[in-house]
Structure 1
Amino acid sequence: MTEADFPIEPADSAGHPVVLVARTPVRAAGLLALLRERGLDAVAAPVIERAPVEDHAELDAARERLARGAYDWVAVTSVNAVDALLGPASGEVPALAGRIADEPVRWAAVGPATRQALAGHGLAVDLVPDVATGAGLADAFPAATAKDATTAGDPAHQPRVLLPLGSLASDTMRAGLEAKGWTVDVVTVYRTITRELPPELRRPYDVVVVASGSAASQIAAQLGPQRVVAIGEPSARAAGAVGHTVLATAAEPTDEALAAAVAEALVRT
């Protein structure tokens, strides 16, 4: 059993709006606290979760290329991708992060949470876009130049980016980076699998918070169309496509912005 098997139960909901956060209780703890400060009852339970890839050969080969300095950039679009590529951060620097610490590779993070996850591995982030989406990161990325082509000390080296993604990720980042002249190695570093909500949580909610298109799809499959608040525009579009009513989209992909969006949506409705 893991922490995800123990959803955080809402408080007495008499007369108070009830919010479901479609995340594991540990990932949702900060948001739950902010929602409860606003007088809302909130419960957290995951409808998707990360699982290891079944065949590690591609991932292991990418790690070895990274350790050899074969990449100019690594572009990371989620905390899950950081953990899957480098291993969960702990009190000691993970083996791979230690091996690449002296390489000239630059790191790009989709947003503050991903930047913090990389910092936990002792890695400095060179690029964070103003718009915290895959498309925003691709737009903010520099164009490949001849200087990048000689970064590895090899005249035949092509300007290259490692793009570690989940199994359900869209092609937006790869296409955007290739349009700027980069050779992109897309590597699946984790699988996304579904989790069933426990019976006691299959009930009506005033708002459901979704932090990915995959979560929005699973909420629709398990609960039917809901009123949702999304963490960003891609999640909002995915939620609308599967029949949810999107009440609001967070201004930033942070707990504070999500809590504010939920509170404002409930006031309006």
Structure 2
Amino acid sequence: MADSPINVLFSREYSKLKSAVNVLPLERFTVIACPVFDITAVEKNQQLQADFTQVLSSDYLIFTSQYAVIETIAYLKTLGISSAQLKAIKTCAVGPVVARQLAEHGLTVDLLPELYTAESLADLFPVVTGKRLKIFFPKGDRAARKLEHVLSEKGYNVVAPIIYKTELRSSLDRQSQALFNAKTVDCFAFTSPSSVMALTAILDSANNRKALKNSVICAIGTTTYQACLEAGLTVSIMPNEYTIEGLARAIDSFYLTANCH
């Protein structure tokens, strides 16, 4: 076992890493936040308002991001629509983190896939054979369009307004940059495809393309894994459960196994 703790950088702000800190023992790991993008609100124009006024006539609500939950509930409130009014609509979440975010607003999830991906969520919806059903799917500007395409092909009317933007950062915070400069990033955990895009762009612009060469690379799920491959990164760790906690458990297990050999 190493004399000093293993530096594990996660591409999220520290407030989102509580579950990772709880899983990874302090005597063996140092969990470090390395946020590489910011979530910002979109302009609340007439088109967005028109889209959101359709929510109460929808048959299903789909959320694939906790940011979508936060921004959607906040915007609906400004339109005079409370979360209590959404309870009659079947609510779907891509995973337990999103489900917990919905629970904070009193909303119970009706559909939750076993594999926490948008594709698995789409599989839960049968082909429409009768009346065309409406799905309200608020999302971020970088969300993949595959989910809405699959649902549209199955016969659903999908309303998918963009409720938040993901803005990639152009530089790292001081602590993270210092670790990269010192080549002491033992493990880097990517938590979204956007984080892969952002970090590789930052490192390229800093002429530091080899900064991740000796780091153990982790991907939180399949889409992030694919983004890593496209960026030329070799992924050593991907959890069975696509959550921060699942990723942390996979990291712990990886290093325990490595230390046994």
TM-score category (smaller protein): 0.7 to 0.9
Q: Structure 2 residue aligned with 1:215, among 186, 189, 195?
A: 195
Could you tell me which residue of structure 2 aligns to residue 201 of structure 1?
176
TM-score (norm 1): 0.81
The one-letter code matched in structure 1 to 2:133 is P
1:96-107 alignment runs, 5 A limit:
96-98=81-83, 100-101=85-86, 104-107=88-91
8 Å contact kept, 2:5–2:26:
no
SS at 2:172 equivalent: coil
**1:176 and 1:126 mapped to 2: Cα distance?**
20
Q: CA separation of 1:265/1:221 partners in 2, compared to 1, >3 Å: closer, same or farther?
A: farther
Could you tell me which residue of structure 1 aligns to residue 206 of structure 2?
none
SS at 2:82 equivalent: helix
Q: CA separation of 1:212/1:38 partners in 2, compared to 1, >3 Å: closer, same or farther?
A: farther
8 Å contact kept, 2:20–2:31:
no
SS at 1:87 equivalent: helix
1:184-219 deviations in Å (ceiling 9; x for gaps): 111101000023311331113111111100011112
8 Å contact kept, 2:84–2:106:
no
1:59-208 alignment runs, 5 A limit:
59-66=48-55, 69-87=56-74, 96-98=81-83, 100-101=85-86, 104-146=88-130, 149=131, 158-195=132-169, 196-202=171-177, 203=180, 204=183, 205-208=185-188
8 Å contact kept, 1:97–1:122:
no
Cα distance, 1:242 vs. partner?
1.0
The one-letter code matched in structure 2 to 1:48 is F
Identity of aligned residues (%): 27
The one-letter code matched in structure 2 to 1:96 is I
The one-letter code matched in structure 1 to 2:154 is K
1:8-87 alignment runs, 5 A limit:
15-37=4-26, 39-66=28-55, 69-87=56-74
Cα distance, 1:34 vs. partner?
2.0
Q: Does 2:246 match 1:246?
A: no
8 Å contact kept, 2:141–2:165:
yes
The one-letter code matched in structure 1 to 2:147 is M
> Structure 1 unaligned runs (5+)?
1-12, 150-157
Cα distance, 1:60 vs. partner?
2.1
Q: Does 2:225 match 1:236?
A: yes
Could you tell me which residue of structure 2 aligns to residue 6 of structure 1?
none
Cα distance, 1:183 vs. partner?
1.2
8 Å contact kept, 1:97–1:121:
no
Larger RCO, structures 1/2 (Cα 8 Å, 6+ apart): 2
The one-letter code matched in structure 2 to 1:240 is L
SS at 1:62 equivalent: helix
**1:21 and 1:75 mapped to 2: Cα distance?**
26
8 Å contact kept, 1:36–1:42:
no
